Amino acid sequence: MSTTASAFTPSVSAQRADGQAIGYLMQQGIENADCLSLAAGFVDPETLPTALVDKTASRLLSDSETGKLALQYGTTGGSDRVRAVFRDYLARLEGDEDRVHNVPLDQIMLTTGSQQLLALLTEAIFNEGDICLVAAPTYFVYLGVLDGVGAQVIPVKTDDNGMCPDALDAELRRIDELGQLHKVKLVYVVSYHDNPAGISVSNDRRPKLLEVTKRWSQDHPIYLLEDAAYRELHYDGEELPSIWSFDTGYDSGDQQHVVLSQTFSKSFSPGLRVGLSVLPPELVKPISDLKGNQDFGSGHLSQNIVAEVLRTGEYWDHLAGLRTSYRAKRDAMVAAAEEFFSGIDGVTWRTPAGGLYVWMSLPEHIPTGFDSPLFARATEVDKVMYVPGELCYPSGWEDRPRHQMRLSYGVLAAAGIREGMRRLASAVRAVIDS
């Protein structure tokens, strides 16, 4: 008997992945290809290091020894030779050589972008119904990953200084009073210039968030996932220490709580898909086991290319140029916000000190979602795309704000950013006046 395609039922995991914001957003991007995109979180194509990657790959491949190594499998978490270079890089970033060099190489894991690490970690620690506390708003693609494992996602009050430690404490107390503390597995924070709101966790809150997480780790460790994806896209103000740097477990050998996740996607090239993480020791095996089932190692050539530009120092020159370029584009977006939105009552935005995003709030009665009059007007008439802010809150949260937007200055050049903002302001005015 033959079966038809319609008889196919996707697995529960696949069904949970269906309808996730990222898929929908990508689809909207395709359908609205004629729009200027303030939506895409992509990096600026003009800044991609094509010549440097070309030169580096040629050098690696023209030497038969390094070429053969790079084209061979590595190991699941990355070969020791390459990991050692990444550890040196982290030591420079952290500014504490001894502390970083004390981390055993196997606790340093290389993944296919940092997204793979987020997904593997989540799969490794969550059972259905377990709880993750997240900043609100937060990185919407990670919300999809949490939905994928059937996690309960609880938003924690977040302000201009990042997630509020007192609010985190209060949530954990409330969960404890409900007898549910055993279900709490993770606190998730994008610690630098976050996606979507451009907020960094302030200096004083960094150790406090960790301290609260540790205090409620009573019968089992609650981990703090520090997603530092935008750490190096820093344009002005003080450079902040990582939350990881406050995790004394890494110095004393006691329980370690922070998983530090970094990526070379924003600071170098997303196409190479190189993510770097530091894991507490007991997470190494389960995450490697899961990764082994997927790919038993990420692209070894990519890892070798990034390791090589780290080794030569060319990476840092590239980064300096990138910062200058993005700073100018950030300024262009903020200037355009002033120019076009300052006359509209109830519109506010935040100037980020780094990253790729400006977070804008409209009057509360103006929803921004895919099904809102504003989204229709912006994409159909004014020809501009943005990310609706409501995607960045847990989908099950009834009271989530619906009047915000994530605007990215990543892809467009300064003139396109200004034009995109002009169009968006025109759409907002039209909807407010209607």
Which residues of the shown chain bind ligand PMP in the complex (CB under 6 A)? 41, 113-115, 139, 190, 195, 227, 229, 263, 265, 270, 275
Residues 6+ away with beta carbon under 8 Å from 150 = 16, 126, 128, 129
- Position of tokens 């990526």? 263
Nearer to ligand PMP, 41 or 77 (CB): 41
Non-local (6+) Cβ contacts of 310 within 8 A are 85, 86, 88, 89
Minimum CB distance to ligand PMP smaller for 214 or for 406? 406
What secondary structure letter does DSSP report for 379?
I
CB of 431 to ligand PMP, least distance (A): 28
Q: Minimal distance in Å, beta carbon 118 to ligand PMP?
A: 6
What is the distance between the alpha carbons of residues 52 and 50, in angstroms, rounded to a whole number? 6
Nearer Cβ to ligand PMP, position 266 or 377?
266
Torsion sign (Cα): 214, 167, 406, 377: positive
Smaller CB separation from ligand PMP, 270 or 281: 270
- Which residue lies nearer to ligand PMP by CB, 367 or 394? 394
Nearer to ligand PMP, 270 or 373 (CB): 270
Residue 429 class from Cβ within 10 Å (0-12 exposed, 13-18 middle, 19+ buried)? middle
Q: Which residue is nearest to ligand PMP (CB)?
A: 113
CA distance 204 to 66: 45
**At closest approach, how far in Å is the CB of 411 from ligand PMP?**
13
Q: Is the peptide bond before 401 cis (omega within 30 degrees of 0)?
A: no
Q: Are strands 184-190 and 223-227 parallel, antiparallel or unpaired?
A: parallel
- The rounded distance, in Å, linking the Cα atoms of 321 and 52 is 13
Contact between 355 and 192 under an 8 Å Cβ cutoff? The reply is yes
Nearer to ligand PMP (CB atom), residue 195 or residue 404: 195
Beta bridge partners of 223: 186
Judged by CB, which is closer to ligand PMP: 41, or 148? 41
CB 212 within 8 A of CB 246: no
- Provide, rounded to whole angstroms, the least separation between the CB of residue 110 and ligand PMP: 11
Please state the closest distance from residue 113 (CB atom) to ligand PMP, in A.
2
Q: Could you give the CA distance from residue 72 to residue 80 in angstroms, rounded to a whole number? A: 14
The closest of 264, 250, 153, 197 to 405, measured between CA atoms, is 197
